[in-house]
């Protein structure tokens, strides 16, 4: 059976203390839509949140966080700050586009977009492509703190780099096991799912918290067009004073929304990484188990695996259908098979996970991913 990480003793003591205080602190109360919007406006001095399209995902997310996530006081604090930051970024993005129309006048030309499933080598490939000076990647620090817009002359020395790195270091202190699974750094490339938090249409919430109602809506019902509109406007802000020849982007979330992604970026060039989807699903389940332990004492690895293998399977099979239906031209996409035997993250410890630890039936799940594996000739690793 897969294990759940135990938080450091100081974090457990903090949660116990905050529980005793209960409703005397905001971290014992439900997340409030009105309060979060008021705080975002108060802290930015802005009132215009732009298109109301974000409210669908916002309301579904708050409902899931309050009713399903089983948050600890620390988890409620983290969720509150994450939602509040997304609202503040949305306010400021809208204000910048209104005040400086030239931001939105500059197109996003021929971006390279990586659409492989998580745990299939996308992160290291993203970092490798970032070494080309003609490529522009969204770095973690500028995605998390995009205002004021980054400038080319100070891009490598911006004080926000140190601020974000200290935040990431604090996360390491709460869940030290995570760095053996996934590298984090202020200067490292960031994924598109971090950008679309501002539209409240992002897989990142379902990774960090147990929010099945929100995740089901996102992956099965949501209109992705507003999220890509927000994504484009965000990239336009980042390139405003710090341009480059082309963007290099990545997110497994694109697999579920390939038609909408291509509608937003019709001249995109795509890279799809491939690996046994049952191997990636078990690795993802281990990663998500570790992440959720940061904000909840009630983490169920088999339930996580059951959720994510279903979504994982839907995503990879959708990519096979997209090829069969001719969604891409042959010269628009490159396929890359998983190519790593040793990962640099092992300097922080080895990431141990096993498909059989999650209580899933191998034969049943293998049959479900057969359309993807047969179309792309992806070998089984389990």
Report domain extents, the chain.
111-376
| Amino acid 23: pLDDT | 61
User: Contact at 8 Å (CB) between 285 and 301?
Assistant: yes
* Residue 351: pLDDT band with limits 50, 70, 90: very low
pLDDT tens, position by position, 57-89: 999 999 999 999 999 999 999 999 999 999 999
> Mean pLDDT throughout 141-157?
97
Distance CA 37, CA 48 (A): 11
Q: Which residues contact 203 (CB under 8 A, 6 or more apart)?
A: 193, 215, 218, 219, 251, 252, 253
pTM, full prediction: 0.92
pLDDT tens, position by position, 291-343: 999 999 999 999 999 998 999 999 999 999 999 999 998 899 999 998 755 44
Tell me: pLDDT of 349 over 50: no
Tell me: pLDDT of 1 over 90: no
| Rounded (10°) angle between helices 225-240 and 73-99 | 70
Residue 57, judged by CB atoms within 10 A of its CB (0-12, 13-18, 19+), counts as: buried
Q: Six-digit token pair at 349?
A: 């410890």
> Mean pLDDT throughout 213-226?
96
pLDDT tens, position by position, 326-338: 999 889 999 999 8
The number of CA neighbours under 13 Å toward the Cβ of 67 is 9
71 DSSP 8-state letter: B
Distance CA 222, CA 81 (A): 24
Tell me: pLDDT of 24 over 70: no
Distance CA 207, CA 202 (A): 9
- Torsion-angle region of residue 265: left (phi > 0), alpha (psi -120 to 50) or beta? beta
Return the percentage of the chain with pLDDT > 70, whole number.
93
* Residue 350: pLDDT band with limits 50, 70, 90: very low
Is the Cα torsion angle 144, 150, 156, 158 positive or negative in sign?
Answer: negative
> Mean pLDDT throughout 281-292?
89
Distance CA 337, CA 375 (A): 13
CA distances from 355 to 277, 286, 358 (A): 11, 10, 6
| Amino acid 382: pLDDT | 85
Distance CA 110, CA 112 (A): 7
Distance CA 68, CA 209 (A): 9
Q: Six-digit token pair at 75?
A: 């988890």
Phi, psi dihedrals of residue 334, rounded to the nearest 5°: -120, 140
Judged by DSSP in three states, 376 sits in: helix
pLDDT tens, position by position, 163-211: 999 999 988 888 776 666 667 899 999 999 999 999 999 999 999 999 9
User: Contact at 8 Å (CB) between 2 and 358?
Assistant: yes
CA distances from 356 to 233, 246, 302 (A): 43, 42, 10
* Domain 111-376: homologous superfamily in CATH: P-loop containing nucleotide triphosphate hydrolases (3.40.50.300)
Q: Six-digit token pair at 191?
A: 């994924």
Distance CA 291, CA 208 (A): 5
Name the residue with tokens 């710090």.
242
Angle, CA 351 vertex, CA 175 and CA 353 arms, to 5°: 105
Distance CA 18, CA 27 (A): 7
| Amino acid 26: pLDDT | 64
Distance CA 311, CA 315 (A): 6
């Amino acid at each position: 059976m897969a294990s759940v990480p135990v938080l450091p003793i100081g974090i457990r003591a903090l949660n116990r203390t905050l529980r005793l205080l209960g409703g005397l602190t905001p971290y014992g109360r439900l997340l409030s839509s009105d309060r979060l919007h008021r705080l975002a406006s108060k802290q930015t001095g802005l009132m215009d949140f732009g298109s109301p399209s974000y409210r669908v995902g916002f309301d579904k997310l708050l409902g899931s966080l309050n009713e399903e996530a089983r948050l600890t006081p620390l988890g409620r604090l983290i969720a509150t700050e994450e939602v509040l930051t997304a609202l503040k970024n949305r306010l400021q993005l809208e204000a910048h586009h209104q005040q400086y129309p030239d931001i939105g006048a500059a197109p996003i030309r021929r971006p390279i977009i990586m659409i492989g499933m998580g745990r299939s080598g996308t992160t290291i490939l993203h970092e490798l492509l970032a070494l080309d000076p003609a490529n522009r990647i969204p770095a973690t620090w500028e995605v998390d703190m995009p205002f004021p817009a980054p400038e080319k002359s100070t891009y490598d020395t911006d004080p926000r780099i140190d601020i974000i790195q200290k935040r990431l270091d604090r996360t390491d202190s709460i869940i030290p096991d995570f760095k053996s699974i996934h590298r984090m750094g202020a200067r490292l490339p960031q994924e598109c799912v971090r950008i679309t938090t501002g539209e409240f249409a992002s897989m990142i919430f379902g990774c960090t918290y147990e929010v099945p109602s929100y995740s089901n809506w996102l992956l099965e019902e949501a209109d992705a067009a507003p999220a890509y509109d927000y994504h484009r406007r965000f990239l336009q802000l980042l390139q405003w004073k710090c341009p480059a020849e082309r963007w290099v982007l990545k997110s497994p979330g694109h697999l579920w929304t390939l038609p909408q992604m291509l509608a937003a970026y019709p001249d995109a060039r795509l890279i799809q990484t491939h690996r046994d989807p049952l191997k990636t699903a078990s690795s993802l389940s281990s990663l998500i188990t570790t992440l959720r332990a940061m904000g909840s004492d009630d983490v169920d690895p088999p339930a996580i695996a059951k959720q994510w293998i279903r979504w994982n399977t839907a995503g990879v099979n959708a990519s096979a259908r997209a090829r069969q239906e001719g969604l891409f031209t042959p010269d628009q996409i490159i396929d890359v098979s998983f190519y790593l035997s040793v990962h640099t993250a092992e300097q922080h410890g080895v990431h141990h996970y096993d498909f059989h630890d999650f209580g899933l039936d191998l034969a049943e799940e293998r049959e479900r991913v057969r359309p993807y594996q047969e179309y792309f000739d992806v070998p089984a690793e389990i």
